[in-house]
Amino acid sequence: MLLHNFLAHFSRIPANPHNEVHRQSLDEKHQHARAALEHYRQSVKEQREQELRRHEQQVQLLQVDVRTLNQTLIVKQNELTQLHQERARIAAEMNAARKALQRSELDGERLSKANRDLQRHVSELESSGAVLSEKLQRAELAGQEAKAKLSERIEALQQLGRR
């Protein structure tokens, strides 16, 4: 705009051969300046377009990365869900096994107590059997003695009866 005002001002200057050469020189400079400006604008436009293309490529690469990471995240979340389910299943199995062990331990304690009670009862029966054996031997001995006495008395009676 400033250059345009400058040229407009010089176009109002009266014609003079020296001024004409000067004006042509200024026109050439103006044309060179416009060409340089146009070249600069074109260069800036191309650079912006390159940056825009680079930016779009980077955005596309990032979108691919985001999709890949989202897919990886979904896979990992599925694995995590499976691990949580497996952990819950194992925890349930552990609880069941723990309860079975407690029942087994209680059964074992009951069986041990029953075994001790049976052993005590067997010991009592063995003691009673020993006492009964001893009484039986005494009774057999007493029976034999009584039989011998009875035989003696029968014999004595028989002898008395023969006389």
Q: What is the pLDDT of residue 115?
A: 94
CA 79 from chain centre, in angstroms, equals 9
Q: What is the pLDDT of residue 18?
A: 75
Domain boundaries, the chain: 2-162
User: What is the average pLDDT across 128-133?
Assistant: 90
- With bands split at pLDDT 50, 70 and 90, how would you rate the model's confidence at 42? very high
Condensed to tens digits (0 to 9), the pLDDT of residues 2-40 reads 555 655 555 555 556 678 888 898 989 999 999 999 999
Q: What is the pLDDT of residue 3?
A: 53
Of residues 41 and 6, more confidence is placed in 41
Condensed to tens digits (0 to 9), the pLDDT of residues 58-107 reads 999 999 999 999 999 999 999 999 999 999 999 999 999 999 999 999 99
Q: What is the pLDDT of residue 163?
A: 64
